[in-house]
């Protein structure tokens, strides 16, 4: 078929099927019959000369071509949305599904007030939160997420960043730990038994970069976990200590003892988004809402 006969609805259907991994779920989200979704996807298959989605284990999976093109499809939809969105946006009429990539700390500490504010300001909207691990930048590029929240800063061009929250590091331990009753010097800290959080390959917590090189090389965790949500139960009743953002550590008290990190430390949580959503009036409104909600903490 003539590719110039493809309309924005077909692009939106393709994006929705990719996001929901289901023709029927996409039809429900768009408020149309499943046959309409199937027809639109078939038109896109003709354009790309590719099946786009394959049946597998009772569901569907996108093809490599679909994965490669979906970011550009979403970018086109965002640009079109920007064109047709009134500059005096009415939040009560927003029906968009905002997609945020973040990790455990951000979900616990930041997203709760964001959800409350979003439900109050734009009750017809939706919010999807996904685990970023070390793949947050990829989520933005692939169009899986509109916004990345965390300490990650992509080094490549094409990203925008905005500071959201500044924090520092502390150490938590069981009250019976001998270090709980002593000043935590750098020497005692390095010699302690550590439990560390690693969100994925290549992950390095900011506090490690703030240690002297020789100290960092001597610090070897005896336990490594994929999420700080495991910390409390692991540290309790043990000789382990964990280094955590202060605001998160405060939620663990009084069960654990908190001690100052032995050196001045800093942690900055930011908002990151790509050029794909930068010009969207709706996305800018959502970013401002996140910043405003966090200020209320």
Domain boundary pick from 84, 104, 122: 84
Per the listing, tokens 């989200």 go with 29
Average pLDDT, the chain: 89
- pLDDT of 138: 82
14/47 same-domain check: yes
Domain boundary pick from 65, 84, 103: 84
Q: Of 25-29, 191-195, 201-205, which gets the smallest average pLDDT?
A: 201-205
10/156 same-domain check: no
What is the count of structural domains for the chain?
Answer: 3
Mean pLDDT of 98-124: 92
Give the residue numbers spanning the domain of 110.
Answer: 92-166+266-297
272/159 same-domain check: yes
CATH of the domain at 15: 1.10.10.10
Helices in 85-185 by DSSP H: which ranges? 104-109, 111-121, 136-142
**Run of H or E including 170:** strand 169-173
Task: Report residue 283 as tokens.
Answer: 């996305």
CATH of the domain at 252: 3.40.190.10
- pLDDT of 193: 96
123/185 same-domain check: no
pLDDT at 278 over 90: no
Mean pLDDT of 97-104: 92
Mean pLDDT of 122-139: 90
Domain boundary pick from 84, 118, 139: 84
User: What are the CB-based long-range contacts (under 8 Å, 24+) for 92-96?
Assistant: 92/122, 92/123, 92/124, 93/124, 94/122, 94/124, 94/125, 94/282, 94/285, 95/124, 95/125, 95/126, 96/125, 96/126, 96/282
98/69 same-domain check: no
Q: In 3-state terms, the chain is what percent helix, strand and coil (to 5)?
A: 45, 20, 30
CA 17 → CA 21, 82, 200, distances in Å?
A: 5, 22, 28
225/239 same-domain check: yes
197/257 same-domain check: yes
What's the pLDDT band for 255 if we cut at 50, 70, 90?
confident
Mean pLDDT of 202-225: 88
pLDDT digits (tens, 9 = 90+) for 30-89: 888 999 999 999 999 999 999 999 988 778 999 999 998 988 888 888 778 777 766 678
174/260 same-domain check: yes
- pLDDT of 128: 92
Mean pLDDT of 224-249: 91
17/147 same-domain check: no
Reduced to 3 states (helix: H, G, I; strand: E, B; else coil), residue 117 is helix
The reported pTM is: 0.72
**Run of H or E including 101:** strand 97-102
45/158 same-domain check: no
65/203 same-domain check: no
280/136 same-domain check: yes
């Amino acid at each position: 078929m003539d590719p110039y006969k493809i309309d924005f609805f077909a692009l939106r259907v393709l994006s929705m099927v990719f996001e929901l991994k289901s023709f029927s779920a996409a039809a429900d989200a768009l408020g149309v019959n499943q046959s309409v979704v199937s027809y639109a996807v078939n038109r896109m298959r003709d354009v790309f000369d590719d099946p786009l989605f394959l049946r597998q284990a009772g569901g569907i999976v996108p093809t490599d071509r679909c994965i490669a093109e979906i970011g550009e499809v979403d970018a086109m939809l965002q640009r079109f949305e920007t064109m047709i969105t009134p500059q005096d946006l009415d939040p009560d009429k927003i029906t968009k599904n905002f997609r945020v990539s973040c990790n455990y700390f951000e979900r616990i500490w930041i997203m709760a007030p964001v959800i409350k504010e979003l439900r109050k300001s734009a009750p017809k909207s939706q919010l999807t939160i996904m685990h970023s691990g070390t793949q947050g930048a990829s989520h933005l590029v692939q169009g899986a997420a509109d916004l990345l929240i965390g300490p990650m800063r992509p080094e490549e061009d094409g990203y925008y960043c905005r500071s959201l929250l500044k924090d520092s590091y502390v150490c938590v331990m069981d009250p019976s730990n001998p270090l709980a009753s002593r000043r935590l010097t750098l020497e005692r800290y390095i010699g302690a038994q550590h439990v560390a959080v690693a969100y994925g390959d290549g992950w390095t917590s900011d506090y490690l970069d703030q240690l002297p090189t020789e100290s960092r090389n001597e610090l070897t965790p005896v336990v490594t976990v994929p999420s700080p949500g495991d910390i409390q139960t692991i540290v309790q009743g043990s000789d382990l200590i964990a280094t955590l953002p202060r605001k998160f550590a405060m939620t663990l008290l009084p069960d654990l003892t908190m001690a100052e990190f032995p050196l001045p430390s800093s942690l900055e949580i930011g908002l990151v988004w790509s050029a794909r959503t930068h010009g969207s009036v709706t996305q800018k409104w959502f970013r401002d809402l996140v910043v405003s909600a966090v200020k209320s903490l």
